Amino acid sequence: MNVRIEVKAASTLVILFLMIISAIVGGIISYAFTIAYYTKKPQGTTLTITDVYISKENTNLFTISVLNPSYSPTDATISRIAISLERETQLYDVIETEPSIGNGIVVPIGESKNITCIKIKKDNANVTLGELIGSYDFAGKNIIVHVFSQDSAAANIRARVPYVKLDIAEKFDSKFSFKTFNITLTNSPQSEVNITLSDMLIGGVDAQANGTIRGTVIPKGEHVCFMFNGSWHGVAKTSIIVYTEQGYVFRKEIELRNVYVAIQNVSFDIENRDYFNVTIFNFAESAHYANLTMIKCRLDNGTYIPEKLCDPPVGIAPNSTVTIRYDWNWAKYRGRSITIVAYFLQDFETTSYTGITPPPIIVKVLNETSVFNLQDKEHFNITIQNHASSLEAIKITQIKIKRTGQLLNGTTEVNPQLPCGPIAPGESKTLKCTFDWVNYIKNYDDRNLTLSINVTTNTAPLISHSFDFIFILPVAELNITSVELAEVGEMKYLNITIKSKNYSLWNLTLAKIIVTVQNLTVPLEYVFPKNQALISVGSEVVLLCPFDWQKYSGKDLTVTVVSDEHVGASRVYHIP
């Protein structure tokens, strides 16, 4: 009786267990047939960036891992990798990778590819991630890495770059020296690494640091100072670039205060052979004074003459000049090239200036303003001097009209005849020359005439020298025939009578009258309206000029009239 009951109970449990298993299996089969209508295998390739590895100890590169899932239908070819700052649209292409992205990087189905990114294009430069962090304000920010493929939609992932900051503080003191400067580097307390320097460059400046840069460690929150020796004179802008062993590159653009000085002129006074003058100009763009300490001079054979020392130094303000007397007897160094350099307290020097000492023979025209006379239009008289500083006597051998090449006949057109001499140093000779210079003015409509005068030394070997002299040919002669005091009502005037000589060639247009009062530094000037005051050849005009002559009683006046043609005349008048 009891046995039957136990068998019946066991059978019931088995049946219940089988029913549960059947329900589970049936549900699974039913789900499998039902879900097939709603779930499909992906039709295209889908790339995924699974990781970005950035080492704060080596930012010369970073690595990304890209997965092509096993359910992708095809292999994927990566054609482009770029990065951007989070929430910004500017993309920076990665242009150098390992393996190379040049022809694309293939990621097979079901595989992951590690790609090392090395160079990134920023504007027109190829940089590393470390340079973006140090020089372009990427430090501590989130970046987005983008992977592009023609076979897949773009893949993106966010990553954070290390925070590393280096402050660059420079000291270029142009008032002290253009050959030294200091640079202080400070590693930010918030930096994530201690910085190890590998190099430092200063654009346009060849300088050496007073200590070893490579291997110098700058812990977080600490600084190091380097003093450099090297000329930075003339460098208006420069870049300080700091390289580190961790790959960070820091840069700073700076403008430098400068001083611009040049030798403007070197002049020799032929009357004084014991020295010459050097004129030095400090440009208006200069930041401050330049203090001249020395001038050096080198002859064309490389020999230096004794330098000119300036003790104390001579200050030259911006936009001003100073002329320095350089004591040296140049009498025996004639026609020689000399190279001159000026040196300054601020440790810089000018570019070299080349001058020429006076030639061994110096010829002058003594009657320069009266060579051509309107009363003799077919001749001119020229007085030629062999200057006292010339080394030997000369003979005049040739006179030529430079523009036309016409040679005056030394026998028939020059008196005394050519060659004429000898003319010893300090002596002169007057020559009367036949030449229709009025016809020259008409033919060339030009009042400027250049005479080329050739001379030779008087002793063997005969050496020729040529000298050019420029003259302005006269076209009219004016004369102030009278100056009278006039008074009309309460107004006072000068009544000035001007006459053009009968032998003048041109009618003239009077431009102005200048009245200079004795002991009065500023002259009084009266300008005539354009083309209003005309005077023809041989005629006379009277001009009435307002002038309170009563104020200057007992003083002398110098009245000067000037024409547009640069013809003038003067007369002195004493006010009673």
Q: Which tens digit of pLDDT belongs to each residue from 412-421?
A: 999 999 999 8
Q: Which tens digit of pLDDT belongs to each residue from 452-469?
A: 999 999 888 899 999 999
Q: What is the mean pLDDT of residues 426-450?
A: 95
CB 458 within 8 A of CB 547: no
Q: Hey, which residues does 449 pair with through a beta bridge?
A: 471
Q: What is the pLDDT of residue 38?
A: 45
How confident is residue 37, by pLDDT bands cut at 50, 70 and 90?
A: very low
How confident is residue 568, by pLDDT bands cut at 50, 70 and 90?
A: very high
Q: What is the pLDDT of residue 60?
A: 96
pTM: 0.73
Q: What is the pLDDT of residue 488?
A: 87
* Statement: residue 4 has pLDDT above 60: no
Q: For domain 166-255, give the fold.
A: Immunoglobulin-like (2.60.40)
* Statement: residue 539 has pLDDT above 50: yes
Q: What is the pLDDT of residue 5?
A: 43
What tokens were used for 511? 């431009």
Give the separation between CA 290 and CA 503, rounded to whole angstroms.
58
How confident is residue 26, by pLDDT bands cut at 50, 70 and 90?
A: low
- The three-class DSSP label of residue 537 is coil
Give the separation between CA 242 and CA 254, rounded to whole angstroms.
14
Give the separation between CA 117 and CA 98, rounded to whole angstroms.
7
Q: What is the pLDDT of residue 520?
A: 78
Give the separation between CA 328 and CA 343, rounded to whole angstroms.
18
Mean predicted lDDT score pLDDT of the chain: 92
Q: What is the pLDDT of residue 412?
A: 95
**Helix, strand, coil distribution of the chain in percent, nearest 5:** 10, 50, 40
Give the separation between CA 473 and CA 438, rounded to whole angstroms.
9
Q: What is the mean pLDDT of residues 393-399?
A: 96
Q: What is the mean pLDDT of residues 340-349?
A: 97
Amino acid at 258: N
Backbone angles phi, psi at 160, to 5 degrees: -105, 135
* Statement: residue 80 has pLDDT above 70: yes
Name which of 12-26, 97-111, 239-253 the model is least confident about: 12-26
Q: For domain 478-574, give the fold.
A: Immunoglobulin-like (2.60.40)
23 to 26, 28, 29: CA distances (angstroms): 5, 9, 10
Q: What is the mean pLDDT of residues 417-443?
A: 95
Q: What is the pLDDT of residue 236?
A: 93
How confident is residue 2, by pLDDT bands cut at 50, 70 and 90?
A: very low
Angle at 11 between CA 9 and CA 17, to 5 degrees: 105
Backbone angles phi, psi at 222, to 5 degrees: -115, 170
Q: Residue-wise over 396-408: b if at least 16 C-beta within 10 A, else e?
A: bbbbbbeeeeeeb
Spell out the residues 6+ positions from residue 39 whose beta carbon is closer than 8 angstroms to its own.
none
Kindly report, as residue ranges, where domains of CATH 2.60.40.10 are found in the chain.
Answer: 48-160, 261-356
Query: DSSP readout, 414-441?
Result: EESPSSEEEE-TT-EEEEEEE--HHHHH
**Of 251, 148, 158, nearest to 199 (Cα)?**
251
Q: For domain 261-356, give the fold.
A: Immunoglobulin-like (2.60.40)
CB 534 within 8 A of CB 488: no
| 105 CB-contact burial (10 Å; exposed 0-12 / middle 13-18 / buried 19+) | buried
Report the 10 Å Cβ neighbour count for 84: 16
Q: What is the mean pLDDT of residues 420-446?
A: 95
Give the separation between CA 96 and CA 374, rounded to whole angstroms.
86
Give the separation between CA 8 and CA 14, rounded to whole angstroms.
10
Name which of 320-329, 334-343, 390-399, 547-556 the model is least confident about: 547-556
Q: What is the pLDDT of residue 1?
A: 39
Percent of the chain past pLDDT 90, that is, above it, reads 83
**Of 334, 279, 358, 345, nearest to 312 (Cα)?**
345
Amino acid at 44: G
Q: What is the mean pLDDT of residues 381-399?
A: 96
Q: Which tens digit of pLDDT belongs to each residue from 354-374?
A: 999 999 999 999 999 999 999
What is the domain class of 48-160 according to CATH? mainly beta
Spell out the residues 6+ positions from residue 170 whose beta carbon is closer than 8 angstroms to its own.
181, 182, 183, 184, 240, 252, 254
Architecture of domain 363-472: Sandwich (2.60)
* Statement: residue 572 has pLDDT above 60: yes
Report the 10 Å Cβ neighbour count for 543: 19
* Statement: residue 7 has pLDDT above 80: no
- The three-class DSSP label of residue 243 is strand
Q: What is the pLDDT of residue 167?
A: 98
Q: What is the pLDDT of residue 39?
A: 47
Residue 359 is classified by DSSP as: P
How confident is residue 150, by pLDDT bands cut at 50, 70 and 90?
A: confident
**How is the beta sheet containing 540-546 ordered, strand by strand?**
478-488, 491-500, 540-546
Query: DSSP readout, 271-282?
Result: T-TTEEEEEEEE
CB 432 within 8 A of CB 459: no
| Segment holding 50, helix H or strand E | strand 48-55
Sign of the CA dihedral 138, 140, 144, 145?
Answer: positive
Report the 10 Å Cβ neighbour count for 476: 19
Q: What is the pLDDT of residue 459?
A: 86
Q: Which tens digit of pLDDT belongs to each residue from 203-217?
A: 999 999 999 999 999
